[in-house]
Amino acid sequence: MKKTLLAAALIAGFAGVAQAETSVTLYGILDGGIGYQKVKGDDYSAKKVGGINGVQSGNRWGLKGSEDLGDGLRAIFQVESGFDLGTGRSAQGGRLFGRQATLGLAGDSWGELTGGRQTNIASKYLPGIVDPFGGGFGQANVGTSFSAANTMRWDNTVMYQTPNFSGFQFGVGYSFNVDGGQGWDIKDATPNPDDLNGKGITTGLRYANGPIGLVATYDQIKQDENDVKFTQWSVGGAYDFEVVKVSAAFGQTRDGWFTGTDFGPDFGTGSFVGAEGLKVNSYLVGLSAPVGNGKIMASWQMADPTSAPDAAPAGTDLEAQHVYSLGYTYNLSKRTNLYAIGSYARHALFTDDLKSTLIGVGLRHQF
């Protein structure tokens, strides 16, 4: 009897050690509802009514884990797959782990170093500080005007982020090829198409402590094939008065556009688009406030093109794009909430008289 008890105690002890040293977590988000969207121009009109999904948060499932290597060092990994709730098909162009696929090392004292497919620093730092919609809710999110913060994901990226030092955190990353496999650098033949999108640099600094939030980011993509280098920098801040949180941001994009925005079946921008001569100033003002068991959110944002691409026809006049958005989330539990969103865009995609109206209600569950 004593031997049995001793064996059980030893097994339980070893199981506890193994669990403490290595952990793997399965997680995900399901987001779906009913919505309406209409895009209208001078000689164009398109609308869609029905199921919507991935509005507040993109639908996903993932695995993340860590192993204790001793002396405060950990091996970490995260793989995350996006999908369409309405069809069950994979998102991000059908990639198995299109949302994220990273492996790295981390330490409490020095930060973390990761490699693989992951979001850039602007997408990690800017929405959380300045965007009342948290980088979600379709055209309402900050990335509609600040394209480098539109949940931009880069392949082949090595990234370092410091720990949080009294509210400060710094990050920097480099991509060997932002979209697709790394191509060979062949000097005596046609450049490898896989290397078309070129190299990326991303960096930023954020401060979040108490009611104050501040952020600054910079992103650059250099396309060797087209001899184009486009950039975006942004700064922003927020202050939480408890009854209401106010935020503002300003940025500038030059010589291209980072992450595409889709306003309908025939109007959208591609990702990683070089356009020499294009210059866009971006602005955002946001408000959020706790109301009942939820939160109300509102924002105005503008992307103002001060110069057209050099390749545009002479006399091209680009209009300033304005987006007005209002939303509400209501918590049913810690993991499940309802939401409602209304957003209106004028001069969408810098096009005169092109308007986009989005209305939707939905349910989001996190596990």
Reported as a single tens digit per residue, the pLDDT across 152-187 is 999 999 999 999 999 999 999 999 999 998 877 777
Q: For 209-262, how does the pLDDT look when each residue is reduced to its tens digit (9 = 90+)? A: 999 999 999 999 998 777 899 999 999 999 999 999 999 999 999 999 999 887
Question: What pLDDT does 182 receive?
Answer: 84
- Per-residue pLDDT tens digits for 35-69: 999 999 988 899 999 999 999 999 999 999 999 99
Cα–chain-centroid distance for residue 323?
18
Confidence grade of residue 17 (pLDDT, cut at 50, 70, 90): very low
pLDDT at residue number 226: 74
C-alpha separations of 224 from 184, 188, 195, 250 in Å: 13, 15, 8, 29
Q: Reply yes or no on whether the pLDDT at 202 is more than 50.
A: yes
Determine the distance from the C-alpha atom of residue 256 to the mean position of all C-alpha atoms in its chain, rounded to a whole number: 18
Q: What is the mean pLDDT of the chain?
A: 91
- Tell me what pLDDT residue 19 has: 47
User: What pLDDT is attached to residue 147?
Assistant: 95
Mean pLDDT of 277-290: 97
* Amino acid code (one letter) for 210: G
| Region for residue 272 given its phi and psi (left: phi exceeds 0; alpha: psi -120 to 50; beta: otherwise) | left
pLDDT at res. 43: 86
Q: Mean pLDDT throughout 27-31?
A: 98
> Tokens in use for 22?
């290595």
Q: Tell me the one-letter amino acid at 260.
A: G
Which stretch, 14-28, 70-84, 307-321, has highest mean pLDDT?
Answer: 70-84
Query: Among 223, 226, 234, which Cα is nearest to 178's?
Result: 223
Q: Which position has the token pair 């093109």?
A: 305
Distance CA 291, CA 166 (A): 30
| Per-residue pLDDT reduced to its tens digit, 95-140 | 999 999 999 999 999 999 999 999 999 999 999 999 999 999 999 9
**Does position 1 have pLDDT exceeding 50, yes or no?**
no
| pLDDT value at 300 more than 60 | yes
